[in-house]
């Protein structure tokens, strides 16, 4: 009986995309969300450098590695270790996004062409709490992009829709020349997740006093 219950729970989330991911040797169905975004906006190019925040279990790393090719580089960070065998131009770091400085290496200090975030909080079932936790991850992802994304670069970020969604999407508009909101068909119908996309990061204005060393 216990085996049947476990099997039932396991199959609860089984769908066309889950089966497709297994067939195509991707670690998770979430790869098709990024694939849809890429097919629509073409943000990741061969030779690009890409930072994937919340990269476990690794399907986005797998897909991105094929897009950038051997001349590009992909770096991923997650609290959970990624056990996949990945190409040599992909490096994975285990660490907390809120303490990213603790895992910073010379590679991570170099600017990236694209920053991705498919991070999601541990859900509680309380929509307000879950939306707030999602927003905190998104704000941190945007802060990382602010520090490590090249001027002209692109940012893709998953967020749970809630009352803070519009203020965050408005913030993207101030940081990027173009902003888009996109919900891939591969998202589960009941899911409140949506992707906010920033294209062409604006050059940050530097205060002359800061440059000269004055407060």
> Which of 58, 32, 75, 85 is CA-nearest to residue 195?
32
The reply to whether 158 belongs to the active site is: yes
Give dist(CA 73, CA 57) in Å, integer: 18
Which string of b and e fits 82-112 if b means at least 16 CB within 10 Å? bebebeeebebbeeebeebeeeeeeebeeeb
Q: In whole angstroms, give the CA distance from residue 100 to residue 198.
A: 22
CA dist., res. 69 & res. 82, Å (int): 20
- Select which of 10, 12, 158, 180 is catalytic: 158
- Active-site positions? 158
């Amino acid at each position: 009986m216990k085996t049947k219950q476990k099997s039932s729970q396991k199959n609860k989330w089984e769908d066309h995309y889950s089966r497709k991911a297994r067939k195509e040797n991707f670690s998770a169905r979430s790869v098709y969300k990024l694939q849809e975004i890429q097919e629509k906006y073409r943000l990741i190019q061969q030779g690009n450098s890409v930072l994937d925040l919340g990269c476990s279990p690794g399907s986005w790393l797998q897909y991105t590695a094929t897009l950038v090719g051997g001349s590009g580089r992909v770096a991923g960070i997650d609290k959970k270790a990624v056990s996949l065998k990945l190409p040599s131009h992909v490096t994975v770091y285990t660490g907390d996004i809120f303490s990213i400085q603790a895992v910073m290496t010379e590679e991570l200090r170099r600017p990236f062409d694209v920053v991705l975030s498919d991070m999601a909080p541990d859900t509680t079932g309380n929509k307000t709490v879950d939306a707030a936790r999602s927003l905190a991850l998104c704000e941190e992802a945007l802060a990382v992009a602010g520090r490590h994304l090249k001027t002209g670069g692109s940012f893709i970020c998953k967020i749970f829709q809630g009352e803070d969604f519009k203020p965050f999407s408005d913030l993207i508009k101030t940081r990027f020349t173009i902003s888009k909101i996109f919900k891939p068909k591969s998202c589960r119908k009941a899911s409140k997740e949506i992707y906010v996309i920033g294209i062409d990061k604006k050059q940050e204005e530097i205060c002359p006093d800061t440059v000269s060393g004055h407060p």
